[in-house]
Structure 1
Amino acid sequence: MTGYNFVVDRRYTKDDIYRICRVPVEKQKGNWNTGYTNWQGDWFIFCNIGAAGRTGHDYNNRFEDSQLHWYGKTRSHLGQSTIRSMLRPPGKIHVFYRTDDRSPFNYVGAATAVAYKNTIPVQITWGFQESNKPFSSVQSDSQGVCASEPLEGGETQFPEEIINPGVYSEGAVKQISVNAYERSAKAIAACKIHYGATCFVCGFDFGKVYGEIGRGYIHIHHLTQIADVGRKYEVDPVKDLRPVCPNCHAMLHQKRPPLSIEELKSLLIRS
């Protein structure tokens, strides 16, 4: 497994990706053109949003609430070793997308499977470490959060995603050019499940103001800053995280250490 310096929101051609991953010419194309492939322990997913691929298949891949609802290949199912490997990957899962079949791909980020449907083709919902970023292609036919039992349509939640509060590992330091901290997409999702998507400071709700495109969008603030911890620790999504709007999130971090939510509320009230 190798660390690749892909930048979220940057556009990459396949040749760019081959160069960054040092893929020999004889290993290029082939599986790289089939929608997803494994290279040196990491998975790479390439999907179209709102457009058919070059094979003519037009799956309903879509972003909702900063998560990607994604379909595997035509005959894919949960019993396949490739799909099982994606659900419990040894390395990272890098997700790229584009809105037509000729443009370069946009890098979304490193993904974690947060839910799946036992269908053919298989359907997986991906959450992202960079999950605070909004997407422009938001649609809303989500069935919402799954419970510990299978839902209608076969959607299942992993055991560690049960709604009762749990703890999640965060903060694994990786040395690239600076220290980057892995944020658990599951902990963020669990925080949203418990508190909803209304700002804890000012009460702003993107869904009420912007409609469907804003439904469920919110930043997640760590009460304990993982950059200060500098090691792996267990985060409780109810005790340690809070939903805040981007403006309040920025204001919390205007001080070092960050302001508390109560301190920022008092400033908001005085103004």
Structure 2
Amino acid sequence: MPTYDFKVGEKYTRADVYRICEVPVEKQKGEWLTGYRVYEGRYFIFCTVGGAGRTGDDHGNHFIDEDLLWHGKSKSHIGQKSIINLLATGSEVFVFYRSHDREPFSFAGLGTPKVIKETQPVEVVWSFSKTPMTTSLPEEISEPERFIEGAVKTITVNAYERDPHARQKCVEYYGFECVVCGFEFEKFYGALGKNFIHVHHLKPLGEIGKAYEVDPVKDLRPVCPNCHSMLHKQKPALSIEELKTHLKNQ
């Protein structure tokens, strides 16, 4: 998948986006003009903040500090497949905004849904990475016998539901030490780092694409954020043993 060289804060017309993304002429316009669009597995949002858009409607989009409160199309709701996919964990969402109709858009960054409201139209608060990523990190279980993961869950609009008990069972078995490098946050940071660790799926949910049974001992491992990033530095992801071998050889 190609890398899109958008820079946060810089202005782009839709023609610029077509050029950077190498969109064929026959695929330009259409859904590109409707507010949000998926192209080659990535999502693009174009919105007006602080006023009415091209249709004359003012949805109340506005920034809250560095976050963007955004509304979908007038009939959108969190049960729609397009919205579920847009807000799915791991989706790359390129967000563009402008203050006035027909002026170029500014690139806000890659958006991550921070707050999702069950309204119509759907309301989302997006937070942003400061620079585009060439690859997407797999989801970390934030509050995370056999558990079902991957079920579509309309309330949270995550494409893959994550059982909060899976993480707990994993760390109860393995502890809070990184299985790759041995780092333990509490030993280094004291009470501040107590019970902090990432949990890594040996097979990323995004590669499965459907509900499946997760065994917290067989399928999950505790890893520090650095090792978690390095495991997914390439696709397919490195195995735990491959990264351990890499560390030993350095």
* Alignment TM-score, normalising by the size of structure 1: 0.51
Q: Are 1:8 and 2:8 counterparts?
A: yes
Aligned to 2:37: 37
Aligned to 2:80: 80
Residues 1-24 of structure 1 show CA distances to partners (whole Å, capped at 9, x for unaligned) of 432111111100110000000111
Alignment of 1:92-171 (within 5 A): 92-130=92-130, 167-168=197-198
CA contact (8 A) 2:111 2:126 kept: yes
Q: What is the SS of the residue equivalent to 2:230?
A: coil
- Evaluate the alpha carbon distance shift between residue 16 and residue 229 of structure 1 in structure 2; reply closer, same or farther with a 3 A threshold: same
Once the 2 structures are TM-superposed, how far is the Cα of residue 113 of structure 1 from its aligned partner? 1.0
Distance 2:62 2:18 in 1: 26
* Alignment TM-score, normalising by the size of structure 2: 0.54
Q: Which runs of 5+ in 2 are unaligned?
A: 132-154, 165-194, 201-223, 233-250
Aligned to 2:170: none
- Evaluate the alpha carbon distance shift between residue 230 and residue 80 of structure 1 in structure 2; reply closer, same or farther with a 3 A threshold: closer
- Evaluate the alpha carbon distance shift between residue 107 and residue 169 of structure 1 in structure 2; reply closer, same or farther with a 3 A threshold: farther
Aligned to 1:231: 230
Q: Which AA in structure 2 matches 1:49?
A: V
- Evaluate the alpha carbon distance shift between residue 117 and residue 168 of structure 1 in structure 2; reply closer, same or farther with a 3 A threshold: farther
CA contact (8 A) 1:2 1:40 kept: no
Runs of 4+ in 1 over 6 A off after TM superposition: 155-160
Distance 2:74 2:58 in 1: 10
Residues 177-202 of structure 1 show CA distances to partners (whole Å, capped at 9, x for unaligned) of xxxxxxxxxxxxxxxxxxxxxxxxxx
* Identity percentage of aligned residues: 42
- Evaluate the alpha carbon distance shift between residue 229 and residue 166 of structure 1 in structure 2; reply closer, same or farther with a 3 A threshold: closer
CA RMSD in angstroms, aligned pairs only: 3.5
Distance 2:35 2:86 in 1: 13
Q: Are 1:21 and 2:21 counterparts?
A: yes
The structure number with the bigger radius of gyration is 2
Once the 2 structures are TM-superposed, how far is the Cα of residue 91 of structure 1 from its aligned partner? 3.9
Q: Which AA in structure 2 matches 1:100?
A: H
Residues 125-152 of structure 1 show CA distances to partners (whole Å, capped at 9, x for unaligned) of 1111129xxxxxxxxxxxxxxxxxxxxx
CA contact (8 A) 2:7 2:107 kept: yes
- What count of residue pairs does the alignment treat as equivalent? 158
